[in-house]
Structures are given as structure tokens and as C-alpha cells.
Amino acid sequence: MAEPEPFGALPDGQAVQLYRLRSESGVEVSACTYGATITSIVVPGRDGTRADVVLGFETLAPYLSQTAYLGAIVGRYANRIARARFVLDGMTYQLRPNDGSNLLHGGARGFDKRLWSGASFTSGRDQGVRFTRTSPAGEEGFPGTLQVTVEYVLSAAGALRCSFTAETDAPTIVNLAQHAYFNLSGTTAPILDHELTIDASRYTPIGGDLIPTGTLEPVAGTPFDFRSPRRIGDRIDDQHPQLRFGRGYDHNWVLDRDRPAGDDAALAYAATVRHVRSGRRLDVFTSEPGLQFYSGNFLDGTLHGAQGTYVRRAGLCLETQKFPDSPNHPTFPPAVVRPGQRYSARTRFAFSHD
């Protein structure tokens, strides 16, 4: 069982702890109680060389000042809500905008900027850590007191399972996601040479404010078609209006969910990332309907972490979640949770090499 290690303290003196999970396959995962943040995932490559494949920092201080959500849990609502406003049961809730007039990843002090409680555990040959916190009613404008649990479980084979649950005492909206930036090369070189597959035949187009228009469009014949493996860099700079809006990929794909995950019938295959040179591979499975693929377009070289300087596109995010702005689009998958119901979402990141 992973014992907590000191990882610094917040400005008010509260201690932050770090947990290290180790698998028999050589994969190691570290996560801290600030933001329930994954700080490191070490994965062996084809030749046995081990490398940290997520962008992160070796100390707490940079996490307190960065705004890129590196490795954190984002919520209470991941992604964007237009005009930081939604209507639920006839009542309009005004949230705290932090992305122009919109809300991004839960607001100015979302779950990524909160201290969680941590406890490690074992389950057979698997190692895990459980993070919990209470989000009070009115936090960032959201209704309802929310009891939230995040579990990271590392299997003996090197798969990281992320499980989210939440319960509320009043109707509210919930959408949690893990915001790790992956770079399977173990460096800060742009991820343009990574091969990506996304099991989705449609995506949700956005406007200039990065908010979905509400339509579902086919990926066929566009730079958004990753149904077969393709280098991320092949079309990322095409003169496509959607790519200009996001300065690259920053869109939600509508998962087809026609390929089961195998050992967990509740999960379905979502995506694969491969780094051909090192042989490292990441397969993603999820219970969620959407996958936000973000190609790190707004990293700008001002952050310096464990692998070096995080230049533009030094990492990619695969955020499994409800659709962006779902509360304002009745045709999108609902994100409402009511008293007596339990919010539940699960994702598995399976690491391997070929």
C-alpha cells in the first residue's frame, strides 16, 4: 500500500501529500492531494527505457500558479459552459466566468485548485489511492452540496483506472474529467509525430468562443477523421475553420461506443495513442459519451517541468466526459444529478509497448 509522502504546503499552511503507485509491469503513477492531480506516470518503452509520459512538476509550487490544469481533476463541470449560465428546473444559475464570459473547467477555483483528502488502499495485486472532498453549495455558483470521490487504481498489468462518483443534496450538474497531458516520447518535443485513433464518426463543431454550436457533424472528409491511425501533425495546421478557432485540435468527439473494453462491459473503447519510435502505446476506454482531444495549443513555453520546457503542443489531452455546454443543449447527453442519484464515470488508461 502506498504511504503518503510530504509534497509541500499551501500558502495557508495546509499540508499536501503525494502517493506513488507501482505496478508489476513497471508502470508507476504519482498523484497528490492538491487537485487530485496526477503528477507523473512512468512507462517503459520497447527497449525497456523508462520515461515520464505526462507533463508535470517535481514540486508543489508550480502547480499553485499554473493555469493549464496539468494532471488535475477538473470540475464541478469539465470543459466550457456558455455565458457561465444554465437553467435547471426553471431556475437560472449564474456561475463565475473565468474564460471571457464563459465558464471553463469549473470556474476560477474549480476542483483543480482545491485540497482533497487522500487515502491509499490495495485490491488484490492492484494499488490505489482515493481522494475525497465536499464541494459546498454555491461554490463557483453551482447549486447543491456535492460529496465527491476520485479513485486511481493501478493494475498489475499497468492500466490506470480512474473512477469518479458524486452525490448531491440538491439538483445540480456534474461532469468530471482527468486533465493529464500525455507525451509518450517522455520529452517535451511536440506531439505531432504521435499516431492517434479515435473511435468516433462525429464531433461537435465550435464557434469562435470554443463553445459547441449544438450540431453533430461527420468527421469523414475532414481533419477530424481519426477512425484509422493517423499522425496528429498530418492536418493540424490545415486551413479548416474549426482548426483556426481552436488553434489546432480542441474539440469534443462523439464516441461511437461500438467496441467493448473487454474486461469491463461498462466501458467501451475510445482512443489509442502510439509513439512509434519508443513503442509506447496508450489505449483509452470509458463509460462517457464524449472525448475532448486537446493538442496543447495554448502551452507557450512559460512552464518548466520535470521533462523541460513545455512548448506549444508538448502534450495532448484525452478528456473523457459529457459534451461541452451540455446543460444548454437539450439534445446533448444530460449532466444533471439529483438527490438520491449517484453520478458515476469511469475511464481506463492502459499503457503498453510494442
Radius of gyration over every alpha carbon of the chain, rounded to an integer in angstroms: 19
240 is catalytic: no
- The pairing of beta strand 15-22 with beta strand 5-9: antiparallel
Closest CA to 310 of 65, 66, 72: 66
CA 31 centroid distance within chain: 14
> Residues 28, 105, 139, 179: which is the catalytic one?
179
Secondary structure, 3-state, the chain:
CCCCEEEEECCCCCEEEEEEEECCCCCEEEEECECCEEEEEEEECCCCCEEECECCCCCCHHHHHCCCCCCCEECCECCEEHHHEEEECCEEEECCCCECCEEECCCCCCHHHCECEEEEEEECCEEEEEEEEEECCCHHHCCCCEEEEEEEEECCCCEEEEEEEEEECCCEECECEECCCECCCCCCCCHHHCEEEECEEEEECECCCCCECCCCEECCCCCCCCCCCEEHHHCCCCCCHHHHHHCCCEEEEEECCCCECCCCCCCEEEEEEEECCCCEEEEEEECCCEEEEECCCCCCCCCEECCEECCCCCCEEEEEECCCCHHHCCCCCCCEECCCCCEEEEEEEEEEEC
> Residues 288, 319, 329, 353: which is the catalytic one?
319
79: left (phi over 0), alpha (psi -120 to 50) or beta: left
304 is catalytic: no
Active site positions, annotated: 179, 319
